[in-house]
Structure 1
Amino acid sequence: MLETSISPKRSSKSSCIQISRRCSHGDSFAGGLDGSISTGVGGLPLALGIDERCHLKVGIFTYLTDYGPSPIDVGRAVELHGFESLYVPEHTHIPAIGSSSWPGGGTLPRRNVRTLDPFIALTAVASTTERLRVGTCVSLVAQRDAIILAKEIGSLDRIAPGRFDLGVSPGWNAEEAANHGVTKHRTARMLETIEALRAIWAGDPAEFHGRFIDFDPIYSWPKPRGDVPIFVAGGGPTVLERVLSHGDGWIPPRFPLSDLPAVSARIRELRDRAGEQGRELSVTVYGAANSAAGLEAYGSAGVDRVLLELEDHGGDHAAAFRQLDDLARLLRDRR
């Protein structure tokens, strides 16, 4: 029998969460945001965010901003609470003038304007955690220089070997992309960037000659020590084609739990078609329903990972960590 108690300890200087777990035979685990960890049960820490009944991985999706808690504090708390992963989105900027409509509807939240660079923030998280997977959900790779991005990801992998997942999307803000010189063909450029990244990581020297990206042989290090999983996001009629041609997994757009049957049908189609190619592809759902019933439904529908959203709470750090406590209780109650 494993029992867990979570008690937030906060001061005027910082937010701290203490987590302790105790087994029936008396061994325990405790940790805090100060980085101290004591272990029991053979020295093992918290099992990371995996529902033992259906092997559903449970992680956190959040916007890391300049007004929110620090990436290091968030990452440590997420890991100590036992979640499997921490994923963050990307916007290099938001144009002050433009006609692109935010997919969420209504006024664009402040958090979209104030996001930290995902690769810098996730490097900070990775360097101060031990087992937590980190990833983008999603990175707008069509807006990035492929050679620089290859080095950034290779460098992150040196700090956290095998713990990074690259979620990618063409993005919804046409004006943002245009300010990076990408005025059209965002999806095609995203796919070509994936091809260029893999060419750089595989070759020494590496070269690539595409429609949008072109370079003669180059030496580029560091390279990831293993394959970097690349998850293609989107929900349009042709998205599964892109997942099958360029991805290791699929990230559907946000959807209400009532739409899960339709999404599940697409998951089955994806798995069947991947199986014909002798491949296995994963499915990650972000902004997932925060309920035990929801987690059960996702697992039954064939989802591999759900990302529960940690809100920004308008910069109220204590409120953010209280919500994380609540999400952790949901995870704990499933074990």
Structure 2
Amino acid sequence: MHSLMTDEGIRPNRLARALEERGFDAMFVPEHTHIPVHSKVGYPPGGPMPRAYFRTYDPFVALSTAAAVTKKLLLGTGIAILPQRDVLQTAKETASLDRLSGGRFLLGVGAGWHTDEMRDHGVDPRTRGACLGEQLAALKELWTKDEAEFHGKHIDFGPVYSWPKPVRTPPIHHGGSGPRVLARVRTHGDVWMPPAVADPADVPAQVADADGLPISVYNVPGHDERLIDAYVEAGVERLTLFLEELPEDRVLAKLDNLTKLIERYPDRP
């Protein structure tokens, strides 16, 4: 399940408990530190920027509250915008969350799309893809080496001590579409996390683009059973349903309806 998670909706710990009780396997939380008031960057799907984008919780804080009240639910960022983040701090946060949750963290990453947000972080949008690649390589060093170091064009540090280590190397889920994203999955692993297509007829071509890579489809509309059937038939690893920003009572009612999907596909995550 993917939800924007803001201060105006259901609390992350309440949503996480409700998801686990109903048999959902994972909860993904996105990241936007802010949205510049006078930005001219358009909302990718079109139309005005949804209010929720101005109010999202920090994903690692939100997922920590979710970890505290669940035992099996997988906890993912969907996505963390790594080029805007300090890699040493990100290594500390991800490893801490994975260890405190008992190895349930999934690191969803992307290069980001809001270029004005990036510029406020001092990031040149033209180099964000290259920076992301180096950060992923550096994170694996920090997660796995007692004395870690990394020397690249955009990331350069070490040797350093960085503890705690995660329970296991968190699976990396690469958000986005296109050849550059797919090349990044092949280089750094582990899972491609593309947005859902609108037409079920387009599913086979999207899956074919992966050429055997594991796929966890993102933002699947829960009401479109034809689309869900097409992805299940195509053998994708996970379908992450989109949950609108709603008051708690309406969220819980919607989850009750969505549990019917779990009953339809008992062998699918």
TM category (shorter chain) comes to: over 0.9
Say which of 215, 218, 228 aligns to 1:286: 218
Equivalent position SS for 2:179: coil
Deviation of the 1:247 alpha carbon:
2.2
Identical aligned pairs, as a percentage?
43
Q: Which residue of structure 2 aligns with residue 251 of structure 1? A: 193
Give the direction of change, closer, same or farther, for the CA distance of 1:237–1:71 in structure 2 (3 Å limit): same
Q: Does the aligned pair in 2 maintain the 1:61–1:287 contact within 8 Å?
A: yes
Asked if residue 183 in structure 1 is aligned to residue 115 in structure 2, the reply is no
SS of the aligned residue for 2:77 comes to strand
User: For 2:238, which of 305, 311, 314 is the aligned residue?
Assistant: 305
Helix, strand or coil: the match of 2:252? helix
Partner in structure 2 of residue 223 of structure 1: 165
Q: Deviations over 1:213-250 (max 9, x none)?
A: 11121111001121210011221233211110112010
Match of 1:87 among 3, 25, 28: 28
TM-score for the superposition, normalised by structure 1? 0.76
Q: CA deviation at 1:289?
A: 3.5
Contact 1:102 1:172 in 2 (8 A): no
Task: State the SS of the aligned residue for 2:79.
Answer: strand
Considering fraction of residues, name the structure with more helix. 2
Quote the offset at 1:73 in angstroms. 0.5
Partners in 1 of 2:187 and 2:235 — Cα distance? 21
Q: Which amino acid aligns with 1:283?
A: I
Identify the residue that residue 206 of structure 2 maps to in structure 1: 263
**Structure 2, unaligned stretches of length 5 or more?**
none
Gaps of 5+ in 1: 1-59, 272-280
Is the aligned partner of 1:118 residue 2:59? yes
| Structure-2 separation of matches of 1:257 and 1:328 | 23
Q: What's the CA shift string for 1:272-304, capped at 9, x where partnerless? A: xxxxxxxxx421111213244433211211311
The one-letter code of the counterpart of 2:103 is G
Q: Which of structures 1 and 2 has the larger relative contact order (alpha carbons within 8 angstroms, sep 6+)?
A: 2
Q: Take 2:141 and 2:196, find their aligned partners in 1: how far apart are those partners?
A: 31
2:258 alignment partner in structure 1: 327
The CA deviation string for residues 116-142 of structure 1, in whole angstroms up to 9 with x for no partner, is: 000110011011100000101111011
Instruction: Give, in angstroms, the shift of residue 257 of structure 1.
Output: 3.2
The alignment status of 1:205 with 2:128, answered yes or no, reads no
SS at match of 1:196: helix
Q: Across the two proteins, how many residue pairs are aligned to each other?
A: 263
Query: Is 2:98 aligned against 1:153?
Result: no
Q: Output the CA distance in 2 between the equivalents of 1:286 and 1:198.
A: 24
Q: 1:317 aligns to what? A: 248
Post-superposition CA distance 1:158-177 (Å, at most 9, x none) = 21122111111111100101
- In terms of fraction of residues, the more strand-rich structure is 1
Larger radius of gyration: 1
TM-score (norm 2): 0.93
| AA matched with 1:308 | L
Stretches (4+) displaced over 6 A: none
- In the other structure, the counterpart of 2:5 is 64
Classify the secondary structure of the residue corresponding to 2:36: coil
Q: Is the 8 A contact 1:257 1:289 kept in 2?
A: no
8 A contact 2:219–2:242 mirrored in 1: yes
Given that residues 95 and 166 in structure 2 are in contact (C-alpha distance below 8 angstroms), is that contact kept between their aligned partners in structure 1? yes
Cα separation, 2, equivalents of 1:242 and 1:321: 37
